[in-house]
């Protein structure tokens, strides 16, 4: 991927083609200069700060790959949506929002976040006011609440350029993430349908593909179909009663064991638990003793 300019917007590809643990960033070159999600490229973000200048940082949500280089901007304002803002104020809050409660796991994750993602608590200077239009002077941005991935997940639409930053609604074959404490599968589906209806001309994602200049309609369908596929695979696996550890070991989400095990086991459990809760709410699955089974 190459850095690309759309008028007064610069797309900044992440290291490793924007794959985790990095993400793509946007730079908005208004009279007030903004970096959205500083998880892309350390050297390029440094040069933006030193050459073009950065006045404020916006986060689309609180996930670690989106703030890995936030420490470069410790003296700049930080803006994000209110439901996600507590994550940046303390390690305790972010681990709570991730849904990590075991004491030993919290210690491991705290080290992981500090050592690999430069996490450091800081204040959020301003929160977005639901759907608002922000005039940066030469660039006008609409904030679009898109919950489901996280409760405060936010997309950004720049109508003059037709650019829609859809973030982690990234349209990749892996499908969506909805494993945090306040993630919600049904809200995510609704947000995806809302985003695909916005009359954009350029769709910018946080990972890999980077951006699309042709309507990615079929990719939205593929992206959302992963939810149904995971759920059906889980139902098939529950043809006999299973413990949560057996469900994790089945690798329905990631397909095979991956490293670091701490991270990927958490991901399997987090997403499968969302599906189990959804199926139990529909009366299709119950839990007896320590095993889930079909009704």
CA distance 101 to 192: 29
Give the pLDDT confidence score for residue 130 in this predicted structure.
87
Quick one: pLDDT at residue 145? 98
- Kindly list the distances between the CA atom of residue 246 and the CA atoms of 146, 238, 243, in Å, as whole numbers in the listed order: 33, 10, 5
Give tens-digit pLDDT for 125-170: 999 998 999 999 999 999 999 999 999 999 999 999 999 999 999 9
- Decide if domain 4-219 falls under CATH 3.40.50.1820: no
Give the pLDDT of residue 148: 98
Contact residues for 136 (Cβ-Cβ < 8 A; gap 6+): 28, 30, 31, 32, 33, 34
Burial of 144 (0-12, 13-18, 19+ CB in 10 A): buried
For 13-51, the pLDDT digits (tens) are 999 999 999 999 999 999 999 999 999 999 999 999 999
pLDDT of residue 64: 97
Q: Is 20 helix (H, G, I), strand (E, B) or coil?
A: coil
Q: How sure is the predictor about 240, in pLDDT bands with cuts at 50, 70 and 90? A: very high
pLDDT of res. 135: 98
Instruction: Please check the confidence at residue 260 and state whether its pLDDT lies above 90.
Output: no
pLDDT, tens digit (0-9, with 9 covering 90-100), for 75-126? 999 999 999 999 999 999 999 999 999 999 999 999 999 999 999 999 999 9
The stretch 191-205 carries a mean pLDDT of: 98
Cα 36 to Cα 67: distance, rounded to the nearest angstrom:
10
The structure tokens listed for 87 are 């994550």
What is the predicted pLDDT for the residue at 86?
A: 98
pLDDT at 133: 98
| Residues 113-125: tens digit of each pLDDT | 999 999 999 999 9
Q: What is the value of pTM for the model shown?
A: 0.96
* Domain edges within the chain: 4-219, 238-294
48-73 per-position pLDDT tens digit: 999 999 999 999 999 999 999 999 99
In the predicted model, is pLDDT for residue 1 greater than 90? no
229-265: b (≥16 Cβ within 10 Å) or e: ebbebbeeebeeebebeebbebebbeeeeeeeeebbb
* 262: pLDDT strictly greater than 90: no
* CA–CA dist 101, 104 (Å, integer): 9
What is residue 192's predicted lDDT score, i.e. its pLDDT? 98
């Amino acid at each position: 991927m190459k850095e690309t300019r759309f008028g007064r917007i610069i797309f900044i590809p992440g290291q490793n083609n924007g794959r985790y643990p990095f993400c793509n960033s946007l730079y908005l070159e208004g009279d007030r200069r903004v970096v959205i999600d500083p998880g892309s490229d350390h050297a390029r973000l440094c040069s933006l700060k030193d050459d073009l200048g950065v006045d404020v940082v916006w986060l689309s949500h609180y996930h670690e790959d989106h703030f890995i280089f936030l420490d470069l901007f410790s003296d700049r304002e930080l803006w994000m949506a209110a439901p996600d803002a507590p994550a940046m104020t303390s390690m305790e809050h972010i681990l709570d929002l991730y849904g990590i409660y075991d004491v030993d796991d919290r210690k491991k994750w705290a080290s992981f976040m500090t050592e690999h993602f430069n996490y450091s608590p800081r204040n959020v200077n301003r929160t977005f006011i639901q759907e608002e239009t922000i005039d940066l002077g030469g660039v006008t941005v609409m904030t679009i609440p898109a919950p489901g991935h996280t409760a405060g997940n936010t997309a950004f639409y720049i109508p003059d350029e037709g650019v829609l930053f859809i973030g982690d609604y990234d349209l990749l074959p892996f499908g969506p993430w909805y494993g945090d404490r306040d993630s919600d599968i049904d809200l995510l589906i609704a947000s995806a349908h809302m985003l695909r209806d916005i009359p954009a001309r350029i769709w910018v994602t946080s990972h890999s593909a980077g951006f699309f200049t042709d309507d990615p309609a079929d990719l939205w369908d593929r992206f959302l179909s992963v939810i149904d596929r995971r759920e059906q695979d889980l139902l098939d696996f529950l043809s006999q009663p299973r413990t949560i550890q057996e469900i994790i070991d089945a690798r329905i989400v990631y397909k095979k064991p991956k490293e670091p095990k701490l991270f990927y086991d958490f991901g399997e459990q987090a997403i499968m638990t969302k599906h189990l809760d959804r199926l139990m709410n529909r009366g299709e699955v119950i839990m007896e003793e320590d095993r889930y089974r079909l009704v």
